[in-house]
Amino acid sequence: MFNFFKRKENSNGTHAPIQMVDLDGQSLQVGDIVESLRYEMGKCRIIESEEGLFYESLESGKTVNNMRMIDAATSFQKVRKISSQP
């Protein structure tokens, strides 16, 4: 239709890699504690498994793949960083 949320392609025809940054532009790493802005997960920890990166809720234990947390307009993650891993 209008392709509002279509990912932009680079000049060589490939898509840009997904950026692991929060909505404020702070970089995210495995082990960081973030506040989820989707799925009512509250505070989450970024974890890595064989299937990829996930957000694990510290309150409910629910896990969500990081691909589901991407903001279509900015391609940033729909989270806010609270603290970094030690």
pLDDT tens-digit map of 68-84: 999 888 889 999 999 87
Report pTM: 0.77
The pLDDT, as a whole number, for residue 35 is 96
Exposure letters 18-27 (e unless 16+ CB within 10 A, then b): eebbbeeeee
**Sheet of 43-49, strands arranged across:** 63-65, 52-57, 43-49, 33-36, 79-83
Residue 64 is inside which H or E element, if any? Answer: strand 63-65
CA angle 29, 42, 46 (to 5 degrees): 20
pLDDT digits (tens, 9 = 90+) for 13-43: 555 667 799 999 999 999 999 999 999 999 9
Token pair 């974890």 is at which residue?
Answer: 47
